[in-house]
Amino acid sequence: MEDLNLFGVKRIDFNEQIRLTCESVNAYGQFHKHWAIAWSMGKDSTALLTLLVQLIETGQIMKPHSLTVLRADTRMELPPLWIASEFIIKKLKGKGIEVRTVMADMDDRFMTYILGRGVPPPSNTMRWCTGQIKIEPMEKALQDLYNETGEKILMLTGVRQGESAIRDGKIHMSCAKGDAECGQGWYQTGLSTDLCSTLAPLLHWRVCSIWDWLKVFAPSKDYGEWPTAILADAYGGDNAGDIAARTGCIACPLVSKEKALTEVIKITAWKHLTPLMELKPLYRKMRLPQYRHRKSGGDRNKDGKLSKNQQRIGPLTLEARLYFLDKILDIQKRVNATSKGTEFLLIDQEEEARIRELIALRTFPNKWTGDEITADITLDKVYRDGSVMPILFRDWVGKSGLTKAV
């Protein structure tokens, strides 16, 4: 019986997916001398990286004048991903392929920004992390590469469309720009002044094929002996394909459940990572009023008018930052105390020193001084016209122990 998809059409098999990838890269790669791979260390971009190198070495796709791998290191990746990337980098360098680790500047890194500057952990209403620790550093690395080559780069990504977009067994994602006619992949040239064009050669791959490549083909001698099987641990081990866990940052504050880490610590080899489960409750605790400052009523803008957002809650206090720094360093210490492999670091020595330096310098976000009251103090409400609504039941509020009122 034929393997048909939702639309009654035969599914693309593994060999067909590779063939379409080759067509895509050969069709569009010819327009660029210099290629780069955006590598997040996750399953899709790792599959792209290892497959692409294998296809170049076996002559199935053209060889560019230069190939640069840009590894995005947010300092918050799950250990199986990071450790696998280190093994892969060693192999890439042995093949003469340049790898650049892309990381945010010291003061913009996740932990330094929170504990050194006092900015609360990201939330769905203030999602500062993605752009700051992922996108902006990658754009800077791409700008550097463009300046060095003097030419527009072809940026290859592991983006996949998924089978929902497959209607006749092939991706009909032909390009609105560019001269190639193959129609596979997703090629965007952008403006002539842009730093790069982008191509997603795995757009048509199913997730089960990604796992087939990483767990079966890539580690075999015939396909390059890539150390990719370890990635499955970060996605749930032997059941990774069924669990379909996403592997964002460790204890990501933006998701309600820590699915990936929960699966990882079920595996004996990674059980020592269990203390990392304490991070998410710690991030929630950082948002509590008693650890943060509050703008007092009557706060005025630069024009002397009362601001719209009176009594808003702001950054972490200096004392709170030292408290949470010690907590996180303790988690890190307990993880490494039972680890038998590579040391795991949420905060390295250089970052810890910088955090303590920023705290000693009384560093705060713009328009905050650290002299503001703590946010657990509730003030009378002040309206923009200057009128005041006093707190009702002031004595009851004070005696309840829930908050302080002045």
pLDDT tens for each residue of the chain, 406 residues long: 455 554 444 567 888 999 999 999 999 999 999 999 999 999 999 999 999 999 999 999 999 999 999 999 998 998 889 999 999 999 999 999 999 999 999 999 999 999 999 999 998 888 898 889 999 999 999 999 999 999 999 999 998 875 434 433 433 443 434 443 333 456 766 545 588 999 999 998 988 899 999 999 999 999 999 999 888 887 766 666 555 556 678 888 888 877 888 888 988 889 999 999 999 999 999 999 999 998 876 566 667 676 666 678 899 999 999 999 999 999 999 999 988 778 889 999 999 999 999 999 999 999 899 998 898 887 767 666 667 667 665 554 444 444 554 4
Nearest CA among 200, 203, 220 for reference residue 212: 220
For the chain, what are the domain ranges?
14-102+152-233
Q: Which residue has the tokens 């719209």?
A: 308
Asked if 27 and 180 touch (Cβ cutoff 8 Å), the reply is yes
CATH topology of domain 14-102+152-233: Rossmann fold (3.40.50)
For residue 50, give Cα distances in angstroms to 57, 210, 258: 11, 11, 28
Task: Give the pairing of strands 313-316 and 377-378.
Answer: unpaired
Question: Which residues are CB-contacts of 161 (< 8 A; sequence separation ≥ 6)?
Answer: 171, 173, 186, 200, 203, 204
Task: Give the pairing of strands 381-382 and 98-102.
Answer: unpaired
For residues 51 and 48, give the distance between their C-alpha atoms in angstroms, rounded to a whole number.
5
